[in-house]
Amino acid sequence: MSMKRRFRSALFLPASNARALEKVRDLPCDVVILDLEDAVAPEHKATARDAAVAAARRGFGARTLVVRANGAGTPWHDDDLAALAATPVDAVLLPKLDDAGQCGAARAVLGMDGPALWAMIETARGLLALPSLATGAATWRLEALVAGTNDLALDLRCRPDAARTPLIPHLAAIVAAARAGGLVALDGVLNAIRDEARLTTECAQGAMLGFDGKTLIHPSQIAAANAAFGPTEAERAWAARVVAAFADPAADGRGAIALDGAMVERLHLAEAERLLADR
């Protein structure tokens, strides 16, 4: 998956909700995740799967399109993967991934030319699998790690406050594994859809931790995520100054130069170029 794509806002939608599938075509989210798992009742699983396939064939424009399958071991998992193997989606999201081997099993069904894999980290065992996911990502075409904060908190039996204090080390571990494997990292959802202040704070926190974007459950959350994940005007201005400074002939052959009262190195130049490429 091209890292030139944006992943600031990844909106979950029940695949069984035809109205939502139409509405999202006019929304400014970067990623659409059609959900076959938590948001769909057992009696509607097959219908939702068919709806997801039909919607994917219509396309969602330039957005990254992902379908969250039902988890391994459920009655619907195998049928979900079989249906999605030949469906034009960018990725299949595996929920509650407990073991890196589940990526290999999913890839065997999807085929090497099928959709990429995304993995949700929402169990204690999933946290322990992070190193294996990072090292094996290329083998399975695993392209993203998604924090499933609600289920993770339940599995860990922790009690997150508004600042998500007990989850911070685990969120940081997800980001570290993503960076080690060259993967996209997405922060977990915020259920309090009417708490705009908390959403703004949580998006800023996720960006500070290094996430590329945030998963969302309501269209009203898109604007905050798009604003938080991505360079600010001040960061763009800094990046432009860094690039210009290293382009100066006086910087030829130098590994570090002084700029704005601080030393900047070639690693800062690489980051500056990345920021300026994020349009």
Q: Which residues are annotated as a binding site for Mg(2+)?
A: 122, 151
* Strand (E) or helix (H) holding 14: strand 9-14
Work out whether strand 142-147 and strand 256-259 pair parallel, antiparallel, or are unpaired: unpaired
Distance CA 86, CA 70 (A): 17
**Sequence ranges of the binding site for substrate:** 68, 122
Q: Could you give the CA distance from residue 237 to residue 19 in angstroms, rounded to a whole number?
A: 41
Paired residues of 186 in beta bridges: 146, 213
Identity of the amino acid at 103: C
Give the annotated binding-site residues: 68, 122, 151
How open is the CA angle 127-131-133, to the nearest 5 degrees? 85
Half-sphere exposure of 220 (CA within 13 A, CB side): 9
Which tokens in the block code for residue 193? 């859809």
Instruction: Please give the Cα distance from 126 to 208 (Å, whole number).
Output: 23
- Other CB atoms within a 10 A radius of the CB of residue 272 amount to 23
Rounded to whole angstroms, how far apart are CA atoms 17 and 168? Answer: 33
215-229: b (≥16 Cβ within 10 Å) or e: bbeebebbebbbebb
| Token pair recorded at residue 23 | 């509405």
